[in-house]
Chain A
C-alpha cells in the first residue's frame, strides 16, 4: 500500500499495521513504536546486571538452580525477541546491552539483587507487572510486536510461576517468611516507578500501541498480588514512592 496512513485511523482504533505499512505511518507513531521497543529491550537485557546469573548457584536445590538458570537465560532471549522486531523496523538496541545499571530506562532495573530470595520475590511479585504490561499490548496495532508480545508473555508466566511456588515454599517457615518480607519491602515499592502515569504511556495509549493505562496496570497489579501476598502471611508494603518512569527515554537519532 502506498498511501499515507492518517493519524485518526490509528488513534480511533481498528487499523493494524504490518511491517510494510510502517513507512506510511505518521512519523510520531514510528518514533513512539521504536521508543516502546527500545524500552522493552532495555528492560529485558537489564537482567544481566541485576545479579540473576550470579545468584543461580545460591539456590537451595538442584532443581531450583536449573529453573533459575532457565529463567535468567529466557530474559536474555526476550531482549533478542524485542531487538529482532527493532531490527525489522531499521533500529537496533545492542548499544543498550552494556550500559551502566544506573542508566537503565526503567528505575526498576537500576538495582542489584544480593540474595536468591530477592530473585524469587522479583519473579513472583514484580514480574506480575511485567506480565500485565505485556497484556496491555495484546491488541497493539503493530502486528509484528503483537505476535512477539504473546511469545514473551508465555515465558513470563512460567517465570512468575517459578517465583510464586518458591515464595510459597519459603513462607512455610518463620525464617523464610522473614526473608521474603525483607525482599518484598525492597522490591514491591519499586514497581511504582513503572506504574506512574507518564506522557510516554499516554502516547502509547493514544496511538493504539497499548490499551491499558498505567493507573489500570497499577490497580490490576494490586488486585492480583496483594491478596496472595497476605495469604502467605506477608504484609503488603505501603506506598509507591515516585522515581524512574519512562519519560526520560529518548530516541537516539
Chain B
C-alpha cells in the first residue's frame, strides 16, 4: 500500500476493498490531526498574553502532537504515515492556506471550530474496524478536553471585550464549516457501506452547524455574514430553564446545558424571544 489518495482513484468508491477504505480513513484522520501544523498553532504559543497562557497552549499543542504519534503507529501498520501525509501539498483540511495570526485566534479555533474535529472523529466510532474505533475514541476524548480548554479561555477573552473574538470568528468560522464538506460523497457512502464510518457527512455537517450556532449564541457572538445562510436561527435551540417545574419535594430546578438537552431529546423551546414551538425531536443516532 502506498498511501495514495483514494478519492482520486477512478475505481468506484463502493468497489474498493475494506483494507483500502481503512487506509483512506487513516489518511483523513491524519490530515485532520495535523491541522495543528497546517494552521501553525505552535507558532502562536509565544504570543499568549502571559507565560501561563503560553504554557497552556503549548501543552495543548504537545498533547495534539502526542496523539498524532499514536495515530502514526496505527497508520504505519496500514501503509500510511504522518510524515508522508505532511509532505503532501494536496492533503485534506488545508484550510485554504489560512494560518493562525494570534493566540486569540487559537482560542477561538479550539473553542468553536474544535467541534468539527470531535464530530469528525465521532463519525468513525463503532467502526467495524476495531483499531479504528479505538483510535478515534482516543482522539474524540482528547478533542473534548481541547474544546473545554478553548471554551474556558474564550469566556475569559469575552470578559475583556469581544472585538478580538468577533474578528477571529469572522476569519475562522467559514473555514471550519468548509471542513464538513471535504469528504467526497462517494467516499462517505463507501465508508458507511463498509461499516468503517457510522455517521454520514450530512449528520456531521448538520450537527456542526447546530453546535456552532448554539456556541455563538451562548457566547453572545454574531453569526458572521458569510456564514449566515448556513447557521440559520431556527437551528439554535434554547432550553428555557424557567419552564422547569421545581421538584415535588422542593429544592432547585435542574439546570442543564442546552447541548446535552439536544442530545437527550429534552429540548422544550425555540429561541428565548421566539414564539414557543413544539418540542423538537432529537436527532437520531446520538
From known contacts A45-B51, A73-B55, infer whether A60 and B83 are also in contact, taking CB-CB under 8 Å.
yes
Are B66 and A76 in contact, with the CB atoms below 8 A? no
A15 at the interface (CB under 8 A from B): no
Are A69 and B52 in contact, with the CB atoms below 8 A? no
- Smallest distance from the beta carbon of B64 to chain A beta carbons, Å? 8
From known contacts A56-B61, A66-B62, infer whether A72 and B42 are also in contact, taking CB-CB under 8 Å.
yes
Are B46 and A48 in contact, with the CB atoms below 8 A? yes
Number of interface residues of A (CB under 8 A): 24
Q: How far is the CA of A61 from the CA of B65 in the complex (A)?
A: 11
From known contacts A60-B83, A70-B62, A73-B58, infer whether A53 and B43 are also in contact, taking CB-CB under 8 Å.
yes
The residue on B at minimum CB distance from A50 is B46
The residue on B at minimum CB distance from A77 is B55
B50 at the interface (CB under 8 A from A): yes
Q: Please give, as numbers and ranges, the residues of chain B lying within 8 Å of A76 by CB-CB distance.
A: 45, 51, 54-55, 58
Are A57 and B40 in contact, with the CB atoms below 8 A? yes
Q: Please give, as numbers and ranges, the residues of chain B lying within 8 Å of A127 by CB-CB distance.
A: none
Q: How far is the CA of A57 from the CA of B72 in the complex (A)?
A: 15
Chain B positions 19 through 30: 1 when the CB is less than 8 Å from some CB of chain A, otherwise 0: 000000000000
Q: Please give, as numbers and ranges, the residues of chain B lying within 8 Å of A79 by CB-CB distance.
A: 51
Number of interface residues of B (CB under 8 A): 24
Q: How far is the CA of A62 from the CA of B84 in the complex (A)?
A: 10
Tell me the chain A residues, 34-90 only, with Cβ under 8 Å from chain B.
45, 48-49, 53-54, 56-57, 60-63, 65-66, 69-70, 72-73, 76-77, 79-80, 83
Are B69 and A69 in contact, with the CB atoms below 8 A? no
Tell me the chain B residues, 151-207 only, with Cβ under 8 Å from chain A.
none
Give the interface of A toward B (CB within 8 A): 45, 48-49, 53-54, 56-57, 60-63, 65-66, 69-70, 72-73, 76-77, 79-80, 83, 94, 97
Are A62 and B55 in contact, with the CB atoms below 8 A? no
Q: Please give, as numbers and ranges, the residues of chain A lying within 8 Å of B44 by CB-CB distance.
A: 53
Q: Please give, as numbers and ranges, the residues of chain A lying within 8 Å of B46 by CB-CB distance.
A: 48-49, 53
Q: Please give, as numbers and ranges, the residues of chain B lying within 8 Å of A73 by CB-CB distance.
A: 45, 55, 58-59, 61-62
Are A53 and B42 in contact, with the CB atoms below 8 A? yes
